[in-house]
């Protein structure tokens, strides 16, 4: 296999060939290890003892990913299109922080460096790219984006109102409800059923209002579920089999169907089974 743009692109951007598959698997392993190293580095006790090793690992993976990024830029036909794409930017953001930590030296910037360092965990986001099933879920979420926006706006309005009411009720006697923002934060933890318990009502009136909010949250949590279920169902049906019977125009054939369920007519002109790719897609 010659080392040219085409073969490299096949290996890096496609996962169909054995080499391409191996590359992707190794990339995931490398990403997971490097993210693990960053996470361990944040634990004080581990950094004190193994800091040097983790520093080496960090640089090793940064160089590996830099080479990989360079190859991607080199082998792709439209370099600029890739560089501006979502994953192109993520790929760049995954190597920059380590280099930036060199220029931006000095004890006073240490904390800032750590911020950049952590951003590298975005690498892990690339995992999603490797799974084809994500499409259906993404499709359903995209289709429901407007409904979700309306829903989230309503919930935000509700938590502001309820948070403010709670501030009025509990604010005087309860230090935890010291301001409206804190009360709104409480309303969010309550309505989303997270319920940390760091802020809780203590007066009977406050607890009564909390009860109403919780019961409301019960019904409200049902809305996004209904929306996503609806859209997943639609996305699934659209994908299922959009073919109509050439004879009687019946629709709604099951995914593996070859013959019409209503008139028994053959669904495909070239009398054969539907191609495997269609069957195995979902």
Of residues 123-162, those binding a copy of itself (CB under 8 A): 124-125, 127-128, 131, 133-134, 136-137, 140-141, 146-157, 160-161
Query: Cα separation of 121 and 108, whole Å?
Result: 23
Residue from 6, 14, 49, 198 in contact with a copy of itself (CB under 8 A): 198
| 110 belongs to the binding site for a copy of itself (CB under 8 A) | no
| 173 belongs to the binding site for a copy of itself (CB under 8 A) | no
Size of the site for a copy of itself (CB under 8 A): 109
Instruction: Please say whether the beta carbons of 13 and 2 come within 8 A.
Output: no
CA distances from 32 to 71, 121, 123, 132 (A): 21, 9, 9, 20
Stretches 8-16, 38-46, 58-66, 98-106: which one binds a copy of itself (CB under 8 A)? 38-46
| 253 belongs to the binding site for a copy of itself (CB under 8 A) | yes
Q: What is the CA radius of gyration of the chain?
A: 27
Which residue, 83 or 119, has its beta carbon nearer to a copy of itself? 119
| 99 belongs to the binding site for a copy of itself (CB under 8 A) | no
The closest alpha carbon to 183, from 196, 201, 203, 202, belongs to 201
Which residue, 75 or 140, has its beta carbon nearer to a copy of itself? 140
- Label residue 136 exposed, middle or buried (CB < 10 Å: 0-12, 13-18, 19+): middle
Closest contact distance (angstroms) between CB of 194 and a copy of itself is 4
Residue from 178, 205, 247, 275 in contact with a copy of itself (CB under 8 A): 178
Contacts of 231 (CB under 8 A, 6+ apart): 139, 140, 141, 143, 144
């Amino acid at each position: 296999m010659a080392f040219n743009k085409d073969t490299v692109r096949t290996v890096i951007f496609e996962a169909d060939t054995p080499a391409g598959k191996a590359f992707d698997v190794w990339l995931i392993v490398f990403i997971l290890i490097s993210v693990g190293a960053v996470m361990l580095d944040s634990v004080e006790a581990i950094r004190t003892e193994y800091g040097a090793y983790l520093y080496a690992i960090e640089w090793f993976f940064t160089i590996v990913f830099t080479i990989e990024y360079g190859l991607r830029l080199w082998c792709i036909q439209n370099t600029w299109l890739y560089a501006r794409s979502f994953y192109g930017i993520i790929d760049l953001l995954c190597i920059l922080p380590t280099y930036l930590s060199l220029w931006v030296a000095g004890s006073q910037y240490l904390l800032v460096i750590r911020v950049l360092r952590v951003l590298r965990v975005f690498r892990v986001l690339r995992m999603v790219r490797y799974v084809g099933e994500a499409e259906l879920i993404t499709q359903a979420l995209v289709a429901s984006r407007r409904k979700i926006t309306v829903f989230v706006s309503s919930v935000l309005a509700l938590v502001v109102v309820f948070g403010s009411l709670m501030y009025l009720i509990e604010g005087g006697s309860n230090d935890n409800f010291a301001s409206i923002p804190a009360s709104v934060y409480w309303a969010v933890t309550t309505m989303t059923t997270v319920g940390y318990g760091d802020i809780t009502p203590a007066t009977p009136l406050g607890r009564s209002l909390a009860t109403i909010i919780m019961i409301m949250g019960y019904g409200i949590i049902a809305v996004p579920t209904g929306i996503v279920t609806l859209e997943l169902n639609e996305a699934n049906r659209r994908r299922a089999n959009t073919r109509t019977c050439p004879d009687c125009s019946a629709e709604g054939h099951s995914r593996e169907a070859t013959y019409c369920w209503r008139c028994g007519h053959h669904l495909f002109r070239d009398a054969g089974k539907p191609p495997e790719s269609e069957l195995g897609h979902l």
